[in-house]
Chain A
């Protein structure tokens, strides 16, 4: 089975930096996805980490530690439009992935 843990809610200020953590326990791990979901909308793909380390993509970066079963999503220069839920989803060979409960981020002016 799989066990995925994320903080339920986070609040940050416009222009700040926020880190959203995800811990997981899963068999046959291959990589980890992060998705963004605005209220009432579909989830959209943000990043996919296979190797340990930090991958940067504009204002968003994602980190993975395979040995620790740990990942985080780092959002810099926060904007109001970044208010959304962020879903962590580990995936594995021959199996489809399960989504974490999601972290609802509120960006305040």
Chain B
């Protein structure tokens, strides 16, 4: 069973749509993350949750709204996105968030904004 599962794998949406990305981890980890990966740019950390509490928010526009209902699930709610938001969105988890634990990544959601 895959440790970190993301759905959908691909998503095409218009700028006025509302959609959600889902992430589920089966590793018993306490921390979960959202990253954005654009072409020719480094991975950008968006949000960090530890035991369902948000611990870091890297100046992400409000059109991205995270939700962590429990330590196994993480959502990223999207609304009124812009074309520059087209990217690969990666979810990851780690045992703890304190920075010395390896992260396990999902395969990502490839998002295209029309």
Contacts and interface: CB of A to CB of B under 8 A. Distances in A.
Contact of A93 (B99, B104, B105): B99
Contact of A33 (B102, B106, B108): B102
Contacts of B48: 96
A43 interface: yes
Interface in A55-104: 87, 91-102
B interface residue count range (under 10 / 10 to 19 / 20 to 34 / 35 or more):
20 to 34
Interface string B40-68: 01110100100000001000000000000
8 contacts: A42-B105, A43-B43, A43-B105, A44-B105, A45-B102, A48-B102, A96-B56, A99-B42
Interface of B: 4, 33, 41-43, 45, 48, 56, 90, 97-100, 102-108
Contacts of A96: 33, 45, 48, 56, 97, 99
Given A94-B98, A95-B99, A87 B107 contact: no
Contacts of A43: 43, 90, 103, 105
